[in-house]
Amino acid sequence: MPYITFLFPGQGSQKIGMGKDFFENSSLAKELFEAASDRLKIDFTKLLFEENDRINETAYTQPAIMLVSLTALKLFQSHSNITPQYALGHSLGEFGAVASVGALGSIDAIELVHYRGKFMSEAAKDANGGMMVVMGLSDEEVEQICAKARDEGKKVWPANYNSDGQIVVAGLKADLMSLEGVFKDAGAKRALLLNMSVASHCPLMEPARKPLQEYLEQFLQDSFAAPVISNVTAAPYKTKNEAIELLSRQLVEPVHYKQSIQNIENETDIFIEFGEGNVLKGLNRRITKKPTICISNMKSLEDALEVINK
């Protein structure tokens, strides 16, 4: 049996129609959708399958993505009893990783990230924050430009280390826009402001930390079937206390996705991404030669099971 690492995508992978194939072809998926809708008092079939604006609001985006990812996971687990070597996620996805190893119930995870989204939105009200993707510069070059800008009184920080030559920077929108030319003068192929109203993974999210910790204490269980790789440290953890600290620190510190994959690729034969978009599969192509399979509908589930059971 190959060594498998479970992956869970974060915000930005959402789209109308995601999860519909699961819902229409699986009673297990329908049960999960209904249970999540009942618990959160949100009609997830309307949120996910009908045109609406709420799908891009953080408090709704996060549980929507989590529901689809955990539906894919549950369907996979209904056909396979594999315990992963590791589990990890990108930002929001780390909560899916924790759920996948048994330390967080599925519906609890969906409710928890709904609160996380609310806390992040509330923190964002006090600052006109945003995020910018920078392509074509080294980590060190982006870090130096951000540090110099902070010395000048600007509020900008590296937020997502996605792959070599791709970093997302977070901070005040005006400060980010003022750096667009600076990044390009330094040789960036692209410096593009993303369509986001929340400056994730930087100190602007500090007001969200304490309320999130309280809910983590309430929802998390001290029962990890496998280690989870922390976005903050790019190292494994396996206890409730570590999870409370690291999942709350994740709000205000950068996501070390690239480093996380690099740290475990020698102990992994196959990565399986659960959820919409192939986002992490795309990043992994630039980080590792190990294959990544994405489960986003019934056909891709069948394909993944065939690969695993070879």
Residues marked as catalytic: 91, 201
CA dist list (Å): 291 to 28, 235, 261: 28, 21, 12
CA dist 296 and 193 (Å) reads: 28
The answer to whether 65 and 11 have CB atoms below 8 angstroms apart is: yes
In terms of phi and psi (left: phi > 0; alpha: psi -120 to 50; beta: otherwise), the region of 269 is alpha
CA dist 6 and 152 (Å) reads: 41
CA dist 233 and 64 (Å) reads: 27
Residue matched to tokens 């899916």: 96
Task: Name the 3-class secondary structure at 270.
Answer: strand
CA dist 231 and 254 (Å) reads: 7
CA dihedral 173→56→54→255, nearest 10 degrees, is -90
The beta-carbon contacts of 42-51 under 8 Å, at least 24 apart in sequence, are 42/114, 48/16, 48/17, 48/18, 48/19, 48/20, 49/16, 49/17, 49/20, 49/23, 50/16, 51/16
